[in-house]
Amino acid sequence: MNTMTKNAATLVDKEEISDFTFPKGEVLNSDLARTERDSQIKKAMKLGNNSKGKVQIFFEDTEGLKKVETTIWGVTDKYILLKKTTIIPIRCIHEIKFN
């Protein structure tokens, strides 16, 4: 994802995410990009669990690109888990940035 695309992402509060509708398909086109995303997710979850460190998550809902600054508390095979049972489908995540 390039800088211009990241700048176009709408900043949202994590409490809003449960109201979003997510696209059915995968947002990343290559296996390499998906592998990198999986690595970023694991690193972000360790950061969240060990030091409550926040990350920026760039993801897509049916209305466009969004970003949220939050802590990742858990990961399943299909979702990342945020505080208060908020979830984001992994297939909708473009990138995770570390502060």
Q: Which residues contact 94 (CB under 8 A, 6 or more apart)?
A: 1, 27, 28, 37, 58, 59, 60, 65
How many distinct structural domains can be found in the chain? Answer: 1
Extract the tokens encoding 13.
């509060």
Q: Which SS3 state, helix, strand or coil, does residue 10 take? A: strand
Q: Which CATH number characterizes residue 67's domain?
A: 2.30.30
Structural domain of 83: 3-98
Distance between CA atoms of residues 24 and 6, nearest Å: 22
pLDDT of the residue at 85: 85
Average pLDDT, the chain: 91
pLDDT of the residue at 63: 95
CB atoms within 10 A of CB 55: 21
pLDDT below 50 — which residues of the chain? Answer: 3-4
Predicted TM-score of the model (pTM) = 0.91
Contact between residue 69 and residue 55 where contact means Cβ atoms under 8 Å apart: yes
pLDDT of the residue at 4: 44
Can you give the C-alpha Rg of the chain in angstroms?
Answer: 12
